[in-house]
Chains A and B, each alone.
Chain A
Amino acid sequence: MNEIISNLAKSWDWDTPSKNLSDISQWSSNFSEVQELVTSMDGERIASVVRAGDESFTVCVNGEPWSNTFEKAWSLKFSPAGVLFVIAMNEDEWSVFEEDEPWNDTFEYVWNLNFSPNGKIAGVNVRSAEGYGASLNGETWEHKFVQVRSMHISNDGRNSAGSVQMEPLSEGDIVTFKKGIWGLAVNGHPWEQRFLNVWGCAFSGDGTRVAAEVRLKSGSQTIAVDGICWNEQFKAVWEPVFIPGTHEVIAPGLSSKGWQLHINGSPLWNQPFNQVWRQKFGPDGKRLAAVVSPDFGRWSIAVDGTVWKSTFSDVVIEPIFSFDSKHVAAAVKNNNRWTIAVDGVAWNQGFDMAWNPYFSPDGNMVVARIALGKNYFVALDGKLVLGPFEEMWDPIFSPDGESLLVKCVDDSRYFRKILPVKELLKK
């Protein structure tokens, strides 16, 4: 849960202990097919694409179908702000439907439905007769491209970017490829510079700058910021991030020393690793954590360059900071068992799956969604405190940290529960 969600959470219902919002078994009686369930962040709504007739689909929300039906519908998602979107097609025309209302434009194809971190803007990649581009809240980029391969939206939703192919390429044409025909389009306007490849992309916090991984030639990659490359080149790089509140960029780069984090092209942490990726700043904008492999086949988290004492054999997903930036937790897998590690200390129990952990607002507790077999549980500070459920979504702390919002399907019924943390801890 990030700061934006935590702000949104202030307006949610934290008083009603339990709401049984829908009987999912009833959906199966009403529709011949019920697809994957999704829930709104506040837990008030649960939805699925359902089959409305022999050849048509619709969206069912808390048991009620939308009025629109579709030949195809997929990518059903709630935005962080709680608005429900689906990509749908009728008579070979694809569009985005937002709460049962279509966007104005239709396309030959639509995909990569994505939201601005503040939840206000929805964006998709689109293909039309004129070419490839993007559409944000129904406003489509003016320029079209040979191909587009990503959709990134700035924090405030005002800017969007995607890697784009600038020239056609015929089969086997390695000569044209070598010239560099890929760029980054920001709000539909491509950078002047072209590269062999453009991958990944990150906006600065204020949305005015964009950084991306670029390849200049075989074995030579770097980071370009607004099209301008770092002076240093690497064998390989991974996704960049901006230092919050600045236009400085941090990215992992591979040199003959190994993988290191670099700031604007210069080493940031001196220690090279077997691997470093998924670097992330804490909410204070100062503490920096990343997933690292300090020894071959061992994985951990480094915070400000210092590696946790414990390492894990299989995988460490990503660092998750507490609100005060003092603590870091991560879902980790060791010897084929998933668990949660907090500041380098792993919970005792292993699970079949663990989702990203989240800190309480005061940073003293950690909660995570856990699976054992096909049963889902709430784990709080290493203890299973609730469950099993047939389905469950990430639990969320209330802004005051006193309660947990648990969204779950139990005995085929969907519940939104508000549970006092004190009671849970007694279990």
Chain B
Amino acid sequence: MGLAPLPLVNDAGMDLPIQELTPERIAVVFNRIMNTETAARFKVYMNTCVHCGLCSDACHWFLSNDRDPRFSPVGKVKQTLWTLVQKKGRVQPEFIKECSRIAQTECNVCRRCSMYCPFGIDIAYLLLTVRRICSELGVVPQFLQDTVNSHAVTLNQMWVKQDEWIDTLQWQEDDARAEVRNARIPLDKEGADVFYSVIAPEPKILAQLIGNIAQIMAVAKVDWTMPSFDGWDNSNMAMYSGDFETMGRVERSHHDAALRLKSRRIVMGECGHAFRGAVYDGPKWLGWREPPIPLIHAVDFYHELITTGRLKIIKKFSTPVTVQEPCNIIRGRGLGVKLREIIDATCSDFRPPEPDFEHNYCCGAGGGVINCGPNWKASRVKGNSVKAEQLAATGAHIVITPCHNCHSGIEDIISGYKLGMHVKFFSEILMEVIEIPDELQA
């Protein structure tokens, strides 16, 4: 194709394991997965694609890399699965590293391309199949694998120990009480209306978000609980690395925790991929058509609290804001209008991004890509210059990001392209605009 070679990135999670691979072993694993884990859906997608390239312009990686066809959705499938299928998996170990690089670090499985393919081919599913093959061969970017190891051991993604988790909740309860009288984080309360779950970066590095929620729950008089035991983390990077067995264990622990506490429903904090794992991929692997008890995302929950008057907005956030619409809850779940409504209810100067709603571009961090670690940060930021242009064009100062991956990914875009903007979770906006009634003032 006459294209310049891509920069070589060393990664212990790929470079070491491929030394132990042989074409024979790769073929065995590939064929096992083809024969036992893929079916008509895989064949239909592979056989239906007419190689028209209409999906290319949908992908931020393609648009941000000078329209290099290697970054087009169909190009990524061509460079990985087409060859694997053609050679019945009998490929050289170095090829598996290429597959891992393409599928794990250069696709956010955001599914934007599916919306532009005339046949609706789910490229993200095909690239997740590549990830599954790589994972079964032990070839996974180092820091993504480390995150999955953490999930397997602790059932949370950041190696948070059990005592650290509870200690953090108690500390945040103290902080919340300093603002709202008798605010609590009720641990292990049986029969509560809401089982609230978070992702591990909250107790690890963003504990104040839990304190914020304790204040919001107290003001809105929500009957809620959090578990002192495993199952509190709703995130799931194993879903993205291709380690479905660990994914299943993590999801079971999350749903079991809510069932054990006899909660009426689960409300998940602001994270997109976690929502996908808990509502779609995880339950299905375990045998559930739907989550065993209703489960809603924080955006849905805030919408309910605001529209029912349980949270009163007494002033509007006046700094110009725009929004990063998380793929997994907007394109994946249709929460775009609700998100817009709560922004309208709380912010006076909203600058819509273009394109927006389900057509918005991915943050570039999702799909496990940010978890691939520092070695891949440069290519990740380079691979989303369209996002930087899009954000800059809004003229906003703040980007609301109701998702942890979006939050970190947009932070990297802002600093990488020197946009001079800041990111905020929606709960941080809420903390500035809600009424704390006199009787609850600490």
Residues of A within 8 A of B (CB): 32-33, 35-36, 72, 74-75, 109, 111-112, 125, 127, 147, 149, 165, 171-175, 177, 182, 196-197, 199, 215, 218-219, 221, 235-236, 254, 256, 273-275, 293, 296-297, 299, 313-315, 317, 333, 336, 352-353, 355, 371
Which residue from B162, B248, B294 sits with its C-beta under 8 Å from A111? B162
- Complex: how many Å from CA A274 to CA B161? 32
Q: Quick check: B191 and A371 within 8 Å, CB to CB?
A: yes
By a CB distance below 8 angstroms, the chain B residues around A173 are: 146
A218 and B136 contact, Cβ closer than 8 Å, known pairs A125-B162, A174-B13, A355-B262: yes
By a CB distance below 8 angstroms, the chain A residues around B186 are: 35-36
- Complex: how many Å from CA A117 to CA B268? 34
Q: Quick check: A172 and B143 within 8 Å, CB to CB?
A: yes
- Nearest chain A residue, comparing its CB with the CB of B136: A219
Which residue from A197, A313, A353 sits with its C-beta under 8 Å from B152? A197
Which residue from B16, B143, B229, B289 sits with its C-beta under 8 Å from A112? B229
Q: Quick check: B262 and A172 within 8 Å, CB to CB?
A: no
Q: Quick check: A174 and B191 within 8 Å, CB to CB?
A: no
A to B CB contacts below 8 Å, 25 in the list: A35-B186, A36-B186, A36-B189, A36-B190, A74-B228, A75-B188, A111-B163, A112-B162, A149-B162, A149-B230, A171-B159, A172-B146, A172-B373, A175-B16, A177-B149, A197-B152, A199-B249, A256-B36, A274-B287, A275-B286, A275-B287, A293-B287, A315-B259, A352-B264, A353-B191
Residues of B within 8 A of A (CB): 12-13, 16, 36, 135-136, 138, 142-143, 145-146, 149, 152-154, 159, 161-163, 166-167, 170, 182, 184, 186-191, 228-230, 243, 245, 248-249, 259, 262, 264, 286-290, 292-294, 373
The residue among B142, B248, B287 with the most chain A CB atoms within 10 A of its own CB is B287
A315 and B248 contact, Cβ closer than 8 Å, known pairs A36-B189, A218-B136, A296-B287: no
- Nearest chain B residue, comparing its CB with the CB of A125: B162
- Nearest chain B residue, comparing its CB with the CB of A146: B161
- Nearest chain B residue, comparing its CB with the CB of A371: B191
Q: Quick check: B170 and A236 within 8 Å, CB to CB?
A: no
A215 and B288 contact, Cβ closer than 8 Å, known pairs A75-B228, A109-B163: no
The 4 closest A-B pairs by CB, nearest first: A297-B289, A275-B287, A315-B292, A293-B287
By a CB distance below 8 angstroms, the chain A residues around B289 are: 296-297, 313
- Complex: how many Å from CA A184 to CA B153? 13
The residue among B13, B16, B143, B152 with the most chain A CB atoms within 10 A of its own CB is B152
By a CB distance below 8 angstroms, the chain A residues around B16 are: 175
- Nearest chain B residue, comparing its CB with the CB of A293: B287
Interchain nearest-CB distance for A201 vs B (Å): 14
A111 and B166 contact, Cβ closer than 8 Å, known pairs A171-B146, A353-B264: yes
- Complex: how many Å from CA A352 to CA B149? 37
- Complex: how many Å from CA A36 to CA B163? 21
By a CB distance below 8 angstroms, the chain A residues around B36 are: 256
Q: Quick check: A147 and B286 within 8 Å, CB to CB?
A: no
- Complex: how many Å from CA A196 to CA B145? 13
Q: Quick check: A297 and B288 within 8 Å, CB to CB?
A: yes
- Complex: how many Å from CA A177 to CA B188? 31
Q: Quick check: B286 and A235 within 8 Å, CB to CB?
A: no
Interchain nearest-CB distance for B281 vs A (Å): 14
A218 and B243 contact, Cβ closer than 8 Å, known pairs A182-B153, A313-B289, A353-B191: yes
By a CB distance below 8 angstroms, the chain A residues around B259 are: 315, 317
Which residue from A35, A127, A352 sits with its C-beta under 8 Å from B163? A127
- Nearest chain B residue, comparing its CB with the CB of A256: B36
By a CB distance below 8 angstroms, the chain B residues around A352 are: 264
Which residue from B138, B170, B229, B287 sits with its C-beta under 8 Å from A74? B170
Q: Quick check: B163 and A221 within 8 Å, CB to CB?
A: no
By a CB distance below 8 angstroms, the chain A residues around B149 are: 174, 177
By a CB distance below 8 angstroms, the chain A residues around B245 are: 218-219, 221, 235-236, 254
- Complex: how many Å from CA A256 to CA B188? 37
By a CB distance below 8 angstroms, the chain B residues around A199 are: 249
By a CB distance below 8 angstroms, the chain B residues around A171 are: 146, 159
By a CB distance below 8 angstroms, the chain A residues around B248 are: 236
By a CB distance below 8 angstroms, the chain B residues around A296 are: 287, 289
By a CB distance below 8 angstroms, the chain B residues around A218 are: 135-136, 138, 243, 245
By a CB distance below 8 angstroms, the chain B residues around A221 are: 245
By a CB distance below 8 angstroms, the chain B residues around A33 are: 182
Interchain nearest-CB distance for A71 vs B (Å): 10
By a CB distance below 8 angstroms, the chain A residues around B145 are: 174
By a CB distance below 8 angstroms, the chain B residues around A165 are: 153
By a CB distance below 8 angstroms, the chain B residues around A36 are: 186, 189-190
Q: Quick check: A72 and B264 within 8 Å, CB to CB?
A: no
By a CB distance below 8 angstroms, the chain A residues around B163 are: 109, 111, 125, 127
Q: Quick check: B191 and A72 within 8 Å, CB to CB?
A: no
Q: Quick check: B292 and A147 within 8 Å, CB to CB?
A: no
Q: Quick check: A109 and B287 within 8 Å, CB to CB?
A: no
- Complex: how many Å from CA A317 to CA B146? 33
Given known contacts A72-B170, A215-B152, what 10 new A-B pairs fall within 8 Å (CB)?
A: A75-B188, A75-B228, A109-B167, A127-B163, A171-B146, A219-B243, A275-B286, A297-B289, A333-B292, A371-B191
Interchain nearest-CB distance for B32 vs A (Å): 8
By a CB distance below 8 angstroms, the chain A residues around B286 are: 275
- Complex: how many Å from CA A112 to CA B163? 9
Which residue from B142, B187, B292, B293 sits with its C-beta under 8 Å from A172? B142
- Nearest chain A residue, comparing its CB with the CB of B153: A197
- Complex: how many Å from CA A37 to CA B145? 43
Which residue from A72, A182, A297 sits with its C-beta under 8 Å from B287? A297
- Complex: how many Å from CA A353 to CA B195? 14
By a CB distance below 8 angstroms, the chain A residues around B287 are: 273-275, 293, 296-297, 299
By a CB distance below 8 angstroms, the chain B residues around A177 are: 146, 149
- Complex: how many Å from CA A254 to CA B166? 33
Q: Quick check: A111 and B152 within 8 Å, CB to CB?
A: no
- Nearest chain A residue, comparing its CB with the CB of B223: A374
Q: Quick check: A196 and B146 within 8 Å, CB to CB?
A: no
Interchain nearest-CB distance for B292 vs A (Å): 4
- Complex: how many Å from CA A32 to CA B249? 41
- Complex: how many Å from CA A314 to CA B248? 17
The residue among A33, A127, A174, A219 with the most chain B CB atoms within 10 A of its own CB is A174
Q: Quick check: B292 and A314 within 8 Å, CB to CB?
A: yes
A315 and B152 contact, Cβ closer than 8 Å, known pairs A125-B163, A174-B146, A353-B264: no
- Complex: how many Å from CA A222 to CA B123? 34
- Nearest chain A residue, comparing its CB with the CB of B164: A109
By a CB distance below 8 angstroms, the chain A residues around B293 are: 314-315, 333
By a CB distance below 8 angstroms, the chain B residues around A172 are: 142-143, 146, 373
- Nearest chain A residue, comparing its CB with the CB of B145: A174
- Nearest chain B residue, comparing its CB with the CB of A315: B292
By a CB distance below 8 angstroms, the chain A residues around B152 are: 196-197, 215
By a CB distance below 8 angstroms, the chain A residues around B294 are: 336
- Complex: how many Å from CA A274 to CA B149? 26
- Complex: how many Å from CA A127 to CA B13? 32
A32 and B182 contact, Cβ closer than 8 Å, known pairs A221-B245, A297-B289, A333-B292: yes
By a CB distance below 8 angstroms, the chain B residues around A75 are: 187-188, 228
Interchain nearest-CB distance for B252 vs A (Å): 8
Interchain nearest-CB distance for A20 vs B (Å): 23
- Complex: how many Å from CA A371 to CA B154? 33
By a CB distance below 8 angstroms, the chain B residues around A293 are: 287
- Complex: how many Å from CA A101 to CA B292? 42
- Nearest chain B residue, comparing its CB with the CB of A173: B146
- Nearest chain A residue, comparing its CB with the CB of B291: A314
